[in-house]
Amino acid sequence: MRATALGLLDLAPLPAAYTELVLCRDIYHCPPDALDRQPLRRVAQHLAALRAERRHQALVAAHQRKRR
């Protein structure tokens, strides 16, 4: 739980179990065994998109804090 909390704060990498949860719950809407059948390339592309989205959200939040 501590590793997940640190990862969500961008203080450490997110644990693989949390990444799997997000992929199953938010991207593929499937159980883990169905995720295992997804092509690795597709999963890697979606992980890259999630990272880019997260970076963008962090940049926007930082910009908004500076404007206050």
User: What pLDDT is recorded for position 68?
Assistant: 80
CB-count burial class (<10 Å; 0-12, 13-18, 19+) for 3: middle
Cβ neighbors of 13 (< 8 A, separation 6 or more) are 7
Among the residue ranges 11-15, 18-22, 45-49, 63-67, the one predicted with the least confidence is: 11-15
pTM for this model (two decimals) = 0.70
Q: What is the domain range of residue 16?
A: 2-67
pLDDT at 9 over 80: no
Q: How far apart are CA 50 and CA 27, in angstroms?
A: 10
Domain tally for the chain?
1
**Percentage with pLDDT > 70 across the chain:** 93
User: What pLDDT is recorded for position 2?
Assistant: 76
C-alpha 40, offset from chain centre: 16
- Identify whether the C-beta of residue 7 lies closer than 8 Å to the C-beta of residue 14: yes
